[in-house]
Amino acid sequence: MPKTLYDKLWDKHFVTSVDGDGLLYIDRHLIHEVTSPQAFDGLKQFNRKVRRPDLTIATMDHSISTQSASLDACGPKNALQLKTLIKNCHANNIVLYPVGDSHQGIVHVMGPEMGLIHPGMTVVCGDSHTATHGALGTLAFGIGTSDVEHVLATQTIRQSKAKNMRVNFNGELPEGVFAKDMILALIREIGHDGATGYVVEYSGDAISSLSIEGRMTICNMSIEAGAKAGMIAPDDVTFRYLDGKAFSPKGEKFEAMKVAWSALFSDADAEFDKTVDIDVSRLSPQVTWGTNPGQVIGIDEAVPQLPDSYSDGDASAMQKALQYMDMNAGQSIDDVAISHVFIGSCTNSRIEDLREAAAVALNGQVADQVKAIVVPGSMRVKKLAEEEGLDRVFINAGFEWRLPGCSMCLGMNDDVLKEGDRCASTSNRNFEGRQGRGARTHLVSPAMAAGAALKGKLTDVRLLLRGQP
């Protein structure tokens, strides 16, 4: 029977069935300070051991400062959580890349760039954006803390099989339009829960021509459409990305792995439960106007009108979103003044993202009333950016250049917005209160965020890139 890529990865990792669940083997378990302490506690309570510490990798990202390498910088609670991670990793022989380490970074940024993630693997993490790793042809998904504990104890996870969805992105991306715009456009099209119950495979020529960084941006936000996971079949772009990475296989082993990885694709006649086609050549830069990632429009469009029918919750939900965002139905989104810009997060903090943003930042100065921060996704991204001189571009333009971490994506540290602040953000969630109670978030690409910083308002970055003032 023809199989999808997801079917193949499922079968490859199927250990046995347990009470009606499939028991899947996990090749990489990534952990961080926020969702792991209670899992380690649970193990201790039952006197259980970590089965495969060698397949478990830990870093610090969520609750750390981006201004100081001290664990105490964000107060005693954050510090205790970070120190608990150190203690748990030490007690269980798990390798930890702590603040200050040259490998440290946002869990979904540092793992792939170290070469720890290979096509065909299963990857889990107590974090919903784990689908990021699907860009390398893995089955990767987020789990809760009870399941973190389950994976620590058994190196497996209990799962029911999801349905298969394929999303074809076709056409050539216009200038000023990026991977972030592709995924936002998809969520707009299928809705905030349009992929609930599915694993999504992204394909099409617009995917083939994307870098791994761009593919990660797309897979990353699969969860914003409700998907269990997002994945992309490995190809030459994938192999080139992996070649020479610190933990990638080397020499002959790499060549042998390449042959095995090349079999990881959906069979031509494999059946998908749902297929969506998107023509990217018609896309403009996207921006969210509301409080969920499906509330998206092009920068050249107006905020939608309220639906006529009040029969379902949509109209009142829209009204609530508009009120929270202080926007009006029918209003144009271009020119909405902002107070903050955040360039970072596991969606858009890789080197390519910073290059895109820097290319725009070169053209001017951050507007007076705007506070703009750039938070590289990892120490490695930071170093590379500094070697390329991107840090100087940002600093000279008036951006703050920070230490790696999740930062203002969720504000567990001191990078929090205040009530009424309005932020152009390259992160992935525009939920009420996500970046701070009462704060407003517009999700955009790195280039759009940089453009907004210079103009002090949401603006069509295509004009800036064409050199128009």
Identity of the residue, 297 or 410, whose beta carbon is nearer to other proteins in the bound complex? 410
> At 58, is the secondary structure helix, strand, or coil?
strand
**Binding piece for other proteins, criterion CB under 8 A, among 152-160, 302-310, 329-337, 397-405:** 152-160
Q: Which of residues 206-245 bind other proteins (CB under 8 A)?
A: 223, 226, 228
Binding mask 5-44 for ligand SF4 (x = CB under 6 A): ----------------------------------------
Token readout for 231 is 């994945």
Q: Using CA atoms, how far apart are residues 448 and 392, in angstroms rounded to an integer?
A: 19
Question: Is-contact 443 348, C-beta < 8 A?
Answer: no
Within 13 Å and on the Cβ side, how many CA atoms surround 366?
25
Residue 338's nearest CA partner among 450, 398, 421, 427 is 421
Asked whether position 406 contacts ligand SF4 by CB under 6 A, the answer is yes
> Taking a C-beta distance cutoff of 8 angstroms, is the pair 435, 342 a contact?
yes
Q: Is 410 in the site for ligand SF4 (CB under 6 A)?
A: yes
Asked if 92 interacts with other proteins (CB under 8 A), we say no
Residue 20 binding target from ligand SF4, other proteins, none, CB below 5 to 8 Å by type: other proteins
Supply the DSSP string of 160-217, one letter for each residue: PPPEEEEEEEESPPPTT--HHHHHHHHHHHH-TTTTTTEEEEEESHHHHTS-HHHHHH
Binding mask 179-198 for other proteins (x = CB under 8 A): -------------xx--xx-
Q: Whose Cβ is closer to ligand SF4: residue 298's or residue 405's?
A: 405
> Which of the listed partners (ligand SF4, other proteins, none) does 378 bind, with a CB threshold of 5 to 8 Å by partner kind?
none
**25 forms part of the interface with other proteins (CB under 8 A):** yes
Coil, helix or strand for 97?
strand
Work out what residue 10 binds among ligand SF4, other proteins, none; the CB cut-off runs from 5 to 8 Å by kind: none
Which of the listed partners (other proteins, ligand SF4, none) does 346 bind, with a CB threshold of 5 to 8 Å by partner kind? ligand SF4
CB-based burial, 245-270: b 16+ in 10 Å, e otherwise: beebbeeeebeebbeebeebbbeeeb
* Smallest distance from ligand SF4 to CB 142, Å: 9
Applying CB under 6 A, which part among 50-58, 140-148, 355-363, 406-414 lies near ligand SF4?
406-414
The DSSP string of 361-372 is HTT----TT-EE
- For residue 134, the partner it binds in ligand SF4, other proteins, none, with Cβ less than 5 to 8 A by kind, is none
- The verdict on 133 binding ligand SF4 (CB under 6 A) reads no
Residue 149, interface with other proteins (CB under 8 A)? yes
In the chain, the largest separation of any two C-alpha atoms, in whole Å, equals 65
Residues 6+ apart with CB under 8 A from 40: 84, 88, 91, 92, 149, 152
According to the binding rule CB under 6 A, does residue 223 interact with ligand SF4? Answer: no
Helix 446-455 / helix 351-361 crossing angle, nearest 10 deg: 30
Smallest gap from Cβ 344 to ligand SF4, in A, equals 7
**Sole binder of ligand SF4 in the list 428, 435, 441, 459 (CB under 6 A):** 428
**Contact code string over 443-462 relative to other proteins, x by CB under 8 A:** --------------------
CA distances in angstroms from 439 to 1, 376, 425, listed in the order given = 51, 22, 12
How do the residues of the chain divide into helix, strand and coil, expressed in percent and rounded to 5?
A: 35, 20, 45
Q: 226 contacts which partner out of ligand SF4, other proteins, none, CB within 5 to 8 A by kind?
A: other proteins
- Residues 194 and 192: their CA atoms lie apart, in Å, by 6
Q: How far is the CB of 23 from other proteins (least distance, A)?
A: 6
Alpha helices of 326-436 — where are they, by DSSP H?
351-361, 379-388, 390-397
As a whole number of angstroms, the distance between CA 363 and CA 466 comes to: 10
Residues 339-398 that bind ligand SF4 (CB under 6 A): 345-346
Q: Which stretch binds other proteins (CB under 8 A): 239-247, 347-355, 376-384, 433-441?
A: 433-441
Residues contacting 440, CB < 8 A, separation 6+: 324, 325, 326, 420, 421, 422, 423
Which one among 429, 440, 455, 462 touches other proteins, defined by CB under 8 A?
A: 429
Which is nearer to other proteins, 63 or 66 (by Cβ)?
63
d(CA 215, CA 213): 5
33 vs 352, beta carbon nearer other proteins: 33
Q: Tell me the β-bridge partners of 378.
A: 105
Q: Which residues bind other proteins (CB under 8 A)?
A: 12, 15-16, 18-21, 23, 25, 27, 34-35, 37-38, 41-42, 46, 48, 51, 55, 62-63, 77-78, 80-81, 84, 120-121, 126-128, 141-147, 149-150, 153-156, 158, 160, 162, 192-193, 196-197, 223, 226, 228, 260, 292, 312-313, 317, 410-412, 429, 431-434, 437
Q: Which residues bind ligand SF4 (CB under 6 A)?
A: 61-62, 106, 108, 127, 129, 345-346, 406, 409-410, 427-428
